[in-house]
Amino acid sequence: MPRRSASNPARNRPTAANVAARPALRGREILVCVCGGIAAYKTAALVSALVQRGCGVTVAMTRAARRFVGPVTFEALTGRRVLVSLWHGGEPGDIQHLALSERADLIVVAPATANLLGKLANGIADDLVSALLLGAACPVLLAPAMNARMWQHAAVQRNLTFLRESGFAFVGPEEGWQACRTVGVGRMSEPETLLEAIHAALPPRRRRDRERPPREPL
């Protein structure tokens, strides 16, 4: 993927003008899955931007993700409970990991770690996030983030090839400074880039949904 040029922070800051310029996102339901990586801090900015653009956002987190960003951060941003376990109570009769994906227009995994990509490529569903993805009833957008050597590993590249061929959409990773204090490919894309990818990955609105407001919290 081409290297991003340096951006002007003021230009990327959400304003009333650029929030209103995204009517295609208003009323859409996005399920954001957060995995355990330092890039999870960017996901908080992404979730905030989606909410400001009128999306209904529900967040699911792996156990490792909660070591980097606390659920209370996402609850404050979305106004919804953060889901962390298959054993959370839901609506009577709901099989939670299936019901969540059926209500969503798009699932975004950010950051998508090497561990998560390996689970998904090999059909492993041993926690809420991996079960959500294997039972997904909507498109899935993956935003990988990992150390450059991990990204280049043959096993990771094999998993990526399989997932692309299986219909999963990807955004990034990008080249830049990493948490391991080296420069390389593996940085999760910035929130503005993720927003553009979400816009492109969303399926057309269903006729009955074209004028709907954001759904009630899941």
Token pair of 85 as six digits: 């376990």
Q: Is the pLDDT of residue 117 over 60?
A: yes
Least confident segment among 9-13, 31-35, 193-197: 9-13
Q: Is the pLDDT of residue 207 over 80?
A: no
Output the pLDDT for position 20.
43
Output the pLDDT for position 23.
61
Output the pLDDT for position 211.
46
User: What share of the chain in percent tops pLDDT 90?
Assistant: 63
Q: Is the pLDDT of residue 108 over 50?
A: yes
Output the pLDDT for position 50.
97
- CATH code of 25-209, in short, is 3.40.50.1950
Output the pLDDT for position 103.
86
Per-residue confidence at 174, pLDDT binned at 50, 70, 90? Answer: confident
Q: Is the pLDDT of residue 16 over 70?
A: no
> What CA–CA distance (Å, rounded) separates 102 from 203?
13
Q: Is the pLDDT of residue 202 over 90?
A: yes
* Mean pLDDT for the stretch of residues 89-112: 74
Residue numbers annotated as active site: 180
Per-residue confidence at 10, pLDDT binned at 50, 70, 90? Answer: very low
Output the pLDDT for position 96.
56
Per-residue confidence at 41, pLDDT binned at 50, 70, 90? Answer: very high
Give me the long-range contacts of 92-101 (CB less than 8 A, separation at least 24): 96/128, 97/128, 97/131, 97/132, 97/135, 98/135, 98/137, 99/218, 100/31, 100/58, 100/60, 100/132, 100/218, 101/31, 101/132, 101/135, 101/136, 101/137, 101/138
Are β-strands 174-177 and 183-187 bridged in parallel, bridged antiparallel, or unpaired?
antiparallel
The pTM for the full model equals 0.79
Least confident segment among 34-38, 54-58, 145-149, 210-214: 210-214
Output the pLDDT for position 186.
76
